[in-house]
Chain A
Amino acid sequence: MLQTPMSIKQMSAVVRERGGMPSPLIEVDNLRTHFFGNAGLVKAVDGVSFSIPRGKTVCVVGESGSGKSITGRSILNQVPRGGRIVSGAIRYRPDPAQPPLDIVKLDPRGKEMRALRGAQIGLISQEPMAALSPFHTIGNQMVEVIRLHLKMGRREAREHAIETLALVGIPRPAERMESYSFQFSGGMRQRVCIALALSCRPKLLIADEPTTALDVTTQANILDLLSRLQADFNLSVLFVTHDLGVVAEIADEVVVMYLGKVVETGDVDTIFHAPAHPYTKALLQSVPRMHAGGATRLPTIDGMVPSPFERPQGCGFHPRCAMAVHGLCDREVPEPITISEGHVASCLLHGENP
């Protein structure tokens, strides 16, 4: 079920509106997702803005506690217990000619959101074993999803499921429909999850660390599979990861997060070769490089990610930042500053009067 080509009229409407650029599929605007626990308020996502262009891969990178996963879950309007989206907008625009739909305004359990989730926005997570039911065959799980979202009869849905399994490279898909999740290997299980997520041919796939638990060889196969499927279906992918190697391999655009905020966004080449934010720079330097050899010490970032209850004043990164300016970085909250076209960093040192 490929997207129908846009009419000239639709196309020109899009071009007119965005000054030459087609409108993105998703626009996250000043999103705040907070958790209200006994221990206090955790601002897991605190004013995050970025957009996901059509047919492109956006990688959200950050260390644990940066809010990268919760950002992904917020787009699904499926924030874990104890948390909710407090403000902001997630503008979803499946059809560029139509006005966007604000996901934040939808009831997370409502009919509209349930029709979107799984059908137009798919999710693959880190642990495929937890995402699949051990009590139902792969076939039954797939047919259930397909019949829920697409108007298909049992037989048609079954054929559609087999076709999707074949698409993700499951050998003998018709036979494997009768298998249970535990009868697959780790890599094959993740393929089944991808098949499930893509069974209704979504427009957006949220991939939350899908290769972290896999071996490098399997990871390479899954990444290749994702990029092939993306090209086939003109799929937009939001890829959440902490692995900068994976980011370099697959991203079109990168969103770097730290303590619930976006510190830098830009295209992948700019982020890796001309990063503007000290955190991005430090993160890139601390990755062991294959060519560097063992003689050198790895550059590190001092200290550790602060507890979510003890957010530093001013810029969240200033206590660990080698370039922090006393009296500035510990007082003022940095605003996003455009470094160049499409490259934005939230750092006071790039401001008007540093």
Chain B
Amino acid sequence: MTVDADHRQSPLLELRDLKMHFPIRRGAFRRIVGHIKAVDGVSLSVNRGETLGIVGESGCGKSTLARTILRVYHPTGGEISYTGRSGAPIDLATLSGPALKEIHRDIRVVFQDPQSSLNPRLRVIDIIGEVLKVNGIATGSELEDRVAELMRSVGLRPEFMHRYPHAFSGGERQRVSIARALAPEPRLVIADEAVSALDVSVQAQTINLLQDLQERFGLTYLFVAHDLSVVRHISDSVAVMYMGRVVEKAPTDAIFASPRHPYTEALLSAVPTPDPRLRRRGRRIHLAGEVADPANPPSGCPFHPRCRYATGICKSDVPPLRSIATSDHSVACHLADNLKLNPFDEYAFAELH
């Protein structure tokens, strides 16, 4: 199954001003004293058959965003417009009951740590088979065939289906997770730090596997990760999050070659390059201070206290996400038009030496 070209351009998932606020309760009566705005007005779209990478530091809301799309949480506001199999858009934000269950066949997730996301007391056939049973896809010997097929497609030997997760290595366990995610033939797979816990050589195998499966089944990925080099490798476009907001979104090459947000610039400058000749000690941008307390965010642009370019307007007004340069490059920065930011380009650094 491959995706034809005209389908590629249409968005499969569109988020409009999505908000997920968690109440902070205090005192004997559990009174609500404030909110943590984990996701605060995110608008994004993911095209069919493509991969959207979501990056940001811990606490930026990237995992909450993934879970809100999965409807683990009930969003505080906004729309999650998902194009169903019939081609009609469905708003996931308000869905409940059987309709939501139906959607959970379409949108699947792979978590970071297979150790904790696989039940140690179930055999692989039960772990993958349960999904098939619950969704009424297969039973009996048909189920066994289907599990075997799924295991083969992720590069596991079907003979091992009666083994328990502990009998597999970390990389193999993550393959079991991937097979479980693929069991009901999903269209959108959310990978929440899916390769972060793996060793370098196993990580490379898993990334290749994810790319092969995307090709083969026409999958759309939402790839949440903190490792920018992995994101660069796998994503078609990248969204950078900071304190619950998207601060920059662009095609992958554009974001690395010409970042327009000072936070993206700082983030890129912090990535260590696997080449000692390109050491950037001293050329790194030091972000002053820490990510602000999400319960008490700064006024104006949430990044302004750490931004080296910040001016008066940054302290007072929240910058909207707007298109810049090209229509698919958007940035939330008042100064974006006037800043000259450093790209991430190893070759540029190489020329310096």
| Interfacial residues, chain A to chain B (CB-CB below 8 A) | 63-64, 185-188, 215-221, 223-224, 227, 242-249, 251, 268-269, 272-273, 282-284, 286-294, 297-301, 304-305
Contacts and interface: CB of A to CB of B under 8 A. Distances in A.
Nearest to A252: B276
A297 B284 CA distance: 30
Given A217-B57, A245-B274, A305-B199, A290 B286 contact: no
A298 B207 contact: yes
The dominant DSSP class at the B interface is helix
Contact of B272 (A186, A246, A294): A246
Contact of B58 (A186, A248, A251, A291): A186
Contacts of A268: 276
A294 B204 contact: no
List of 4 A-B pairs having minimum Cβ-Cβ separation, nearest first: A245-B272, A286-B204, A220-B270, A63-B199
B226 A283 contact: no
A216 B270 contact: yes
A290 B238 CA distance: 13
Given A216-B226, A217-B267, A297-B208, A286 B201 contact: yes
Contacts of A299: 204
A64 B115 CA distance: 15
A105 to B, nearest CB: 34
Interface residues of B, number: 52
B271 interface: yes
Contact of A290 (B169, B232, B281): B232
Contacts of A284: 274
Given A220-B270, A245-B272, A291-B345, A304 B208 contact: no
Contacts of A288: 204, 207, 229-230, 232-233
A272 B276 contact: yes
B274 A244 contact: yes
A287 B270 contact: no
Q: Of residues B172, B230, B273, B279, which shows the largest number of chain A Cβ atoms within 10 Å of its Cβ? A: B273
Contacts of B266: 217
Given A217-B266, A242-B200, A273-B277, A294 B271 contact: no
B284 A298 contact: no
B145 to A, nearest CB: 27
B313 interface: no
Contacts of B158: none
B290 interface: yes
Nearest to A294: B233
Given A273-B276, A293-B252, 7 more contacts: A63-B199, A248-B278, A287-B274, A290-B344, A293-B232, A294-B233, A299-B204
Contacts of B24: none
A305 B169 contact: yes
Contact of A248 (B57, B233, B275): B275
A131 B346 CA distance: 36
A288 B281 CA distance: 21
B200 A244 contact: yes
A304 B169 contact: yes
B275 to A, nearest CB: 5
B346 A291 contact: yes
